[in-house]
């Protein structure tokens, strides 16, 4: 009798163990399925967002050059009053005010661009020898290679310039340099 009881209890234990294993497998299966569904759903959503961003960029809607305002920036020694980049007549113009505090002489003003082709012009403005404090001067370059640097009318372009100057009272041995840039719509 004892043998049959122990067999029955052993059979019950085995049945409980199988049931427990089945339930454990079943709950792990549901958790795995839920995780897979979560990743799939958000994966598709992420893919749709990437496609939308790519489409907007392709059609130029996300082009930051169209959104950013035109600007002329230079050191505090000078104030940029006005500026123009022209692809029609291949000119670059900038109007600057002397804020140095002393009359200055300009040794050189060189132009450049961020492209592989250097922005250059065949006719450069004359360098002022005695630019008074507070005086506003126009600088105009003509015969510029605007198209060769990739600047096209109706789009934004950037011209970098470097001015080398010295105070008239100190002399040319005390020359200084200031960097500036013009980011503007090309006409």
| Helix or strand holding residue 33 (H, E) | helix 2-58
Both 106 and 135 in a single domain? yes
Could you give the number of structural domains in the chain? 2
Q: Are residues 47 and 84 located together in one domain of the fold?
A: no
- Pairing relation of β-strands 156-167 and 136-144? unpaired
Q: Which CATH number characterizes residue 136's domain?
A: 2.60.40
Domain span at residue 122 reads 67-185
Question: Maximum Cα–Cα distance for the chain, whole Å?
Answer: 125
119-131: per-residue pLDDT in tens? 989 998 988 889 9
Higher pLDDT, 5 or 95: 95
Q: Are residues 96 and 81 part of one domain?
A: yes
Q: Dump pLDDT digits (tens) for 153-162.
A: 888 889 999 9
Entry pTM:
0.64
DSSP state of 102: S
Same-domain status, 14 and 45: yes
Question: What percentage of the chain reaches a pLDDT higher than 70?
Answer: 89
């Amino acid at each position: 009798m004892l043998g049959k009881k122990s067999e029955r209890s052993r059979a019950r234990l085995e049945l409980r163990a199988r049931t427990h294993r089945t339930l454990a497998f079943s709950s792990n299966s549901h958790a795995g399925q839920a995780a897979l569904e979560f990743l799939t759903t958000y994966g598709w959503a992420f893919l749709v967002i990437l496609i939308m961003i790519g489409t907007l960029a392709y059609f130029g809607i996300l082009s930051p050059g169209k959104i950013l305002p035109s600007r002329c920036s230079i050191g505090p020694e000078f104030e940029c009053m006005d500026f123009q980049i022209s692809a029609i007549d291949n000119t670059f113009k900038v109007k600057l005010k002397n804020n140095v505090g002393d009359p200055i002489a300009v040794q050189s003003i060189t132009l450049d661009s961020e492209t592989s082709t250097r922005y250059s012009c065949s006719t450069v403005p004359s360098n002022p020898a005695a630019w008074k404090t507070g005086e506003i001067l126009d600088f105009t370059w003509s015969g510029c290679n605007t198209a060769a640097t990739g600047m096209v009318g109706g789009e934004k372009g950037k011209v970098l310039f470097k001015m080398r100057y010295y105070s008239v009272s100190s002399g040319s041995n005390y020359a200084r340099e200031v960097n500036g840039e013009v980011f503007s719509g090309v006409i």
